[in-house]
Each structure stands twice: as structure tokens, then as C-alpha cells.
Amino acid sequence: MSMSLPAFLKSHGRPWLLPVVVSAFVLAAMVLMSGAKPASAANAGVAPPLVEHCNDSGATAGMELRCTIEIINYLNADGTLASSPASTVTITVCEAAESAGTAPCAAPITTTSLVPLTTARQCNAAYHGGGSWIECRVSIINYWATAPATVAATIFQCSGSVILGPGAPGSCDPLEAANTAASTATATIGQCNDSGYGGGTPVGGFVCTISLSTTTALLPMHVDQCNDSGYGGGTVVRCSTRILNLITPAPVPAPPPPAPAEPFVQTYTLVCYEGETILIRDGDWLLYPGFTFGECLVAATPTPTATPVPTAAPTAAPTASPTALPVAVPTPLPVTPLPPALQIVPSPIVPSPAGTGNTAPLNADRSVAWVLWLGSIILVGLVSIGARSVTRRYVPQSRHHRDE
């Protein structure tokens, strides 16, 4: 005998469980009907290992879609994510109803990764209506603490993409014949397969490139890009991929701070010249207004200069004491005494009587006395000379007459 759920719960004494069970069924039905997915690791604060971008855009004609994915992983030697520097993923999208490669772009979005990102899926089943423009790029760079063992990435490219029109046969590098994998799913890089084959491809309208890429067993990579896209007539498809495994670059030390610049000091000197105030600044002569002739030497305040470093006072070199030149002692000339007749005997000086109020000063009396004294000496000399002359002339004649 069957029993309903409410009756079952009531018969077992748990009627309060009925609202809980009904709520759980309703919530599950809402999730299934809306197609909602569980919260991703990205929404939980952890970036997922898979990055999907610009896929399934539809068959609208005349649309332009340009997208990029740039992944940077900093890895330990065992392939786990290093604690620093931060690993990141950056995505950009440019989308508009035009097909000239000029659609406006939204701002790039960069997210920090907490697990290594290993797979990128982008621009698949994108705008396969006619006259569209698909241009996408994936770049993955893994920086390892120590060099891992790497091998060349396997590729699967340009399969099923037969290009017709002015841009035929298109450009694939490497060529389809150089593929090293059998499918996109098994290749490290699967790109530009079953795309761009609608005909009327313009010149340069189909270009797919895989740069020299590597992979490692410690952290296998996978890129799935530009597949089943842009196969409407006259559509442009341009896609490129690269995967690099490099050694973590050594941190570059920060450059030392620049030395402080020497302070710039200008010296100003004011002088007065022909009634004008002159400013001498670094050797240039300039008129300096605002000063009169009498103020120009004291009114201006010069720019302060740096305090000079005291230097030791120079020690004067000792100088040799000058040697005195010998002084010649003059030889005294011989003095011949005058004969007694020519010797001058000074006359005694008679003091002048005391002068009265009407007499000349004492100095005048002395001058007159000196003149008289010199005159008397000269007169005595002349008389002596005359007497000697008379004696020589007349005395002999007197002796001759005496003898007769």
C-alpha cells in the first residue's frame, strides 16, 4: 500500500520536515530549469585552470570580434604555483557591428590566479555569418624556478579550412602538412580548423600562426582557438598562439636613489655706476630698479649662499732675514790750520740793554749783533792782509837805504 509523503512524515511523527523537503525540491528544480552552474572557483576567489573567452557568438553577419587571453604562471620546480610574484590572466574584447578591424575595445580585465592556468578556449563557433571579422590571440608564459624538461608543442592547425577568393590560399604557419597531432583535442595547440572556408576571402583575410612553443609533462598546456568560426563568405580570420616555458627572471634590484642635486646659488652684487644702480648676476650686468644712488650698496639682500667648509689657515713660509750691506766709512779729509794771521777770533758779545716798549724784539737785537760781529771779523782780516802786503813792499827798500 502506497503512502503519500505528507502522510508518511505525519505517521512517523515528523510533520516539521515537510517544508524543508519541499524547499529542497523547489531549489533543485530552479537550478535545473535555469541551467545554472555551481559557483566557479573564480567566483569563490580561486581562478580556474580553464579560461574560456569569446565563444559561441552566433551567425550574425557583418560583426567584428577581436579577443585576447594572456596567461602568466609563476611556478615552483614541481609545477605548483609559486607564492610570488603573482600569477595573472588578462582578457580583452573588442566587439561591434563592423568589419574593418577598428571595433572599440573594453578595458582589459586582469585577475590574480591562485592555481596554475593550463587551458585557454577562445573564439570558437564565433560569428560565422558573412562579412565578419574574427581576430584572436592567446599567449601563455610559464616562469619556472628551475628549468623543466620541455618538448615542442604538438599542433593541429588549418585542417578543413579551404580558402577561396582573392585571399586564397590563405596563410598557415606552420602549414597543415606539418601538423603533429591528429585533432584539436589531442594537440597542445589546435587552431583555425574548419574556419574561413565560405569563399570570397579578401587578400590577407586568413592568417593563422603558431609561434615556436614548448610544453612539459609537469604542467601540460592546451589551447583551443578559432575553430568552426568565420566560415561565412568574405569573412576575415586572423588567429595566433604562443606557449613559452622560461626560467623565472632574477629580480632586478631597484636603482639607488639619485644623489641630491647641488643647490643652485646665484650671487648678486650691487654697485653704483654713473648714478644708476647696477646688478651683477653671474657676470651679467643688469639694471636693478627701485634703488637710488645712495641706497644701492646697502638696500639689496643677496641670495644666501651655502656655508663654506672651514679650511686650515695656510702657514706662511719663513723668509730669510735680510743681510745688511757693508757701509763704507768715509775717510776724513786732512784739516790744514790757518796761519795765525788769518785765524778768526770772535768778539765778545755784549748783551743789549733791556728793551723798552718802543724797541725791537730780542730776536732782532741778536740778529744785528751777529751782523756786526761778522763784519768786525772780516774787517780785521782785511787789515791784517793789507799790513802784510805793505810790509813786504816797503821794508826791503828801507834796509837798502840804510846800508848806503
Residues 100 and 166 in one domain: yes
Count of domains observed in the chain: 3
Q: What are the cell numbers at 346?
A: 770772535
- Compute how many other C-beta atoms are within 10 angstroms of the C-beta atom of residue 127: 28
In a domain, 389, yes or no: no
73-94: pLDDT as tens digits: 999 999 999 999 999 999 999 9
Based on the domain organization, do 27 and 58 belong to the same domain?
A: no
86 and 160 in a single domain? The answer is yes
Indicate if 99 and 58 belong to the same structural domain.
yes
At 379 the pLDDT is 82
Q: Give the tens place of pLDDT for each residue, 329-358.
A: 555 555 445 445 444 445 455 555 554 444
Closest CA to 94 of 108, 76, 79: 108
Supply the range of the domain harboring residue 216.
50-247
Q: What integer pLDDT is reported at residue 255 of this predicted model?
A: 84
What is the reported pLDDT for 36?
A: 33
Residues 16 and 131 in one domain: no
User: Shortest CA distance to 175 belongs to which of 157, 197, 193?
Assistant: 157
Q: Name 49's bridge partners.
A: none
pLDDT at res. 291 = 46
The 10 Å CB-count burial string (b at 16+, else e) for 239-264 is bbbbbbbeebeeeeeeeeeeeeeeee
The pLDDT value given to residue 43: 34
- Say if residue 232 is in the same domain as residue 273: no
Strand 206-210 to 268-273 pairing = unpaired
Q: Within 13 Å, how many C-alpha atoms sit on residue 217's CB side? A: 1
Determine the Cα–Cα distance for residues 217 and 151; give it in Å rounded to an integer: 9
Give me the pLDDT at residue 49, please. 86
Same domain, 58 and 110: yes
Same domain assignment for residues 94 and 119: yes
Q: Rounded CA gap, 235 and 338, in Å?
A: 153
199, 285: one domain: no
187 occurs within a structural domain: yes
- In the chain, which stretches have pLDDT less than 50? 1-6, 8-48, 282, 288, 291-302, 335-336, 338-339, 341-345, 347, 355-362, 397-404
pLDDT at 382: 79
**114 and 17 part of one domain:** no
**240 and 103 share one domain:** yes
Evaluate whether residue 366 is within a structural domain: no
Burial of 155: CB neighbours in 10 Å, binned 0-12, 13-18, 19+: buried
Is 126 part of a structural domain of the chain?
yes
The pTM score is 0.53
For position 309, what pLDDT does the model report? 60
pLDDT tens figures, 104-143: 999 999 999 999 999 999 999 999 889 999 999 999 999 9
Residue 18 shares a structural domain with residue 58: no
Task: Tell me the three cell numbers of residue 385.
Answer: 792782509
What pLDDT shows up at residue 152?
Answer: 96
Query: What pLDDT does residue 39 have?
Result: 32
Q: What pLDDT sits at residue 99?
A: 76
